[in-house]
Homo-oligomer: A and B are copies of this chain.
Amino acid sequence: MVYKAPIEDFKYNLEMLAYDSVVSDIDKFKDYDSETLMSIVSEIGRLNEQEALSSNKIGDREGLKYITDGKEGPEVQTPDSYKSLYQIVRDSGYVGATMPLKYGGGGAPFTTAILSGEIGIASNMAFYMGPGLSHGAMKTILKKADDKLKEAYLPKMISGEWMGTMCLTEPQCGTDLGLIKSSATPVDDHYILNGQKIWISFGEHDLTENIIHLVLARLPDAPEGIKGISLFLVPKRLEDNSRNTIFCGGLEHKLGINSSPTCVMNLEDARGWLVGEKNKGMEAMFLMMNDARLKVGLQGIAMSEISYQNALEFAKDRRQMRSVVKEKQDSSSKADNIIVHPDVRRMLMNVKSTTEAMRALCIYTAMKIDVAEDHPDEDARQSADDFAALMTPIIKSYCTERGFLNCSESLQILGGSGFTKEYPLEQYLRDVRITLIYEGTNGIQALDLVGRKLSMHQGRLLQNLQKEIQDFINENKDNEDLKDFMKPLEDSFKEVMASTMWLMQNGLKDPENALASASDYLNLLALTSMTYMWARMAKFSIGKNEPIHKNKIKTGKYFMEKVMPELFMYSKKVQAGKSSMMDMEVAEF
C-alpha cells in the first residue's frame, strides 16, 4: 500500500485558479494565503500517510463489534488503532479547521477542508466519514440553531471532543423524505422524539464520549409530506451527562467501508431541541447535504488518486512481455516493466487525466463556495453561489462514477494480484462503490441538476457557466499554442448547447423526456467542465518549463484525445429522449 499526498498538484491548482487573489479579497481569510494553506495541508499529509493509511486495512478486516448488552445500551466498538488515530486527527486541528474562531475553530477557508479532506479520504475513507459528517452537522448548527444551542454544542464538536451525525433515512424512505414518520412532541423547552432511522453513519461508536444527532422528524400539527419536516438536535448524552434514549439497534453488513458504522438508530422518547424554524427542516438539512455531496464527490477523486498510485507502483515493478519497440527493451531482464506497454499506459492515463481534471474542478468549486459565503461583494457572492449550486450535483455524481471506474481500472493493471487481498485495490473498489449511492443516489443528483438547477432563476446558473466558457473561448481560440485544447473545448461547448436546447424544448413539452435524459446530460456537462479545466490548465502551463507544466500539457492532450470524445456519446443519448424506455409495459421488463 503506497500513498503520497498530491501536494504538488494541490499547489499547482491553487496557482492556476488564482487562489491567492481570491482569498486576499476576503477579509477573514487574509491569513490563509496559499503558502499557509499548503503548510497546513502538508502537515495533514504527513500525518495521514502514516497513521490513517496503516489503519485502513485493519479497519476493513476487523470491522466493528456490536455489543448488545453495553452498560447503558448497545455499543459499537471500532478497531483499537482507531482510538489513537482519532486522537492524532483531533490534535492536528483537522476537525474544526474551517469553523469560526469564535467557537474555537481555525477560521480557514472551505478550500482547506477540500485539500486536507482528499488526503484523509485517500488514507482511510471509512474512518474519515466520521469527521466529514460531523463537519456538515456543525455547519448546520452554526447556520440554523439558536445561540444557546450553538454555545452548548459547537465548541466541543469543533474541538473534536464530540462528533455529529445526520439522521434522515427511515425504512420506508431514503430518497423520498416526505414519507418520514418519526415524531417530535413538544414538552416544556424541548421535544420528545420517537421513531426509527436507518443507515446512520457513525450513529454509534466509541471514538467520542458524546454524539450529536441532527434528526428529521414531524411535529404533531405538521402538514403532510416534505413541508412538514422539522430538524432536531438530539444528543447521545444530555447536559447532566445522563444517557439520552437514542440507541443503536444494529449495524448493516456491507460491501465496503467496513469500519464506518452504518447504524439503525431508535429514538425512544429521546429528548431533542428544534434547530431552525418549525417545518423548515429540509431547508436546514440541505445546508448539510450540499456540503456532504461535494465531499462525496471528493471521495471519488481521493479513491482514484490512491488507486492510481498503487497501480503505478505495480506497473513500474512488474515485468511481463517485451515492448514492441526494440530500443525500449530492457536487456538486463527477460521481460520489460509493464509500463512500457501501450494498453497499460492507456489505463494509467485514463485514471490520471480524469483524476486531475476532477480535482481542478472540485478545488475551483470549493473556492467558489468560499467566495459565495464570505466575499464582500454581493454580485461576486451571487455568481459564485450559482457556480457551486450547479456544480455540486455534477461533482457528486460524475466524480463518484468515474472514481469507481478508476478504482476498477487501477485494479485491472494489477491483473490477478488486484483481485487478491494482498493488495489494497480490492478494498478501494469495495469502499468507493457506496459513493454512487449515499447523499442522494447519482440518479437523484441528475434530477437535481436537470429538474432544479437548470431552471433556477430563469436558467441563470447555466448561463453564467456558458458565459464563462464562451469568454474563455473568445479570448483564446486564436492562440496557436492552445489549438489542441481549444478545438475540443469549442466542440464540447457546441454539444452542451445543442443538448441543452433539446432538453428545454422537449422537457417542457414532456417532463419525462427531461428525466429520461438527466443522467446523460449530467455526464455531458461534467465532461465539458473537465474539458474547460484542462483548457485552463493548458493556458496556464504553456510556455512554462518546470516538469509539472510539461506534465500537464501532455496529460491534458491525452484527455482531449481519449476521454473528451465520451461527451459526444452522452449528447447523442440525451437527444434520443424517452420513448424507447417509457414505451415498455412493466410486464415487459
A interface residue numbers (CB < 8 A to B): 169, 172-176, 178-179, 199, 252-256, 312, 315-316, 319-321, 324-325, 334-335, 337, 339, 341-349, 352, 404, 408, 411-412, 415-416, 418-422, 426, 429-430, 433-434, 436-438, 441-443, 446-447, 511-512, 515-516, 518-519, 547, 550-551, 554-555, 557-558, 560-562, 565-566, 568-569, 572-573, 576-584, 586, 588-589
Contact = CB atoms under 8 A, between A and B. Distances in A.
A434 B419 contact: yes
Contact of A429 (B255, B321, B441, B447): B255
A346 B516 contact: yes
Contacts of A551: 588
Contacts of A442: 412
Contacts of A576: 561-562, 565
Contacts of A343: 443, 446-447, 515-516, 518-519
A412 B441 contact: yes
B438 A416 contact: yes
Given A342-B516, A419-B254, A586-B316, A580 B558 contact: yes
A324 to B, nearest CB: 4
A325 to B, nearest CB: 6
Determine the main DSSP class of A at the interface with B. Answer: helix
B566 A346 contact: no
A32 B490 CA distance: 59
A320 B555 CA distance: 43
B554 A565 contact: no
Nearest to A347: B443
B443 A581 contact: no
Contacts of A580: 349, 554, 557-558, 560-562
Given A174-B415, A412-B442, A550-B588, 9 more contacts: A174-B320, A176-B321, A316-B589, A341-B443, A349-B580, A349-B584, A408-B433, A416-B438, A565-B569
Contacts of A554: 580, 583-584, 588
Contact of A342 (B334, B512, B566, B569): B512
A199 B253 contact: no
A586 B339 contact: yes
Most chain B CB atoms below 10 A, which of A173, A339, A441, A568: A441
Nearest to A511: B324
Contacts of A447: 343
18 contacts: A174-B320, A174-B415, A176-B320, A179-B335, A255-B426, A255-B429, A324-B515, A341-B443, A343-B446, A343-B516, A345-B582, A349-B584, A352-B589, A547-B588, A555-B584, A561-B577, A562-B573, A568-B569
Contacts of A573: 561-562, 565
A573 B254 CA distance: 37
A433 B429 contact: yes
Contacts of A419: 254-256, 433-434, 437
A176 B179 CA distance: 58
Contacts of A345: 516, 581-582, 584, 589
A562 to B, nearest CB: 5
Given A349-B581, A426-B254, A569-B568, A325 B416 contact: no
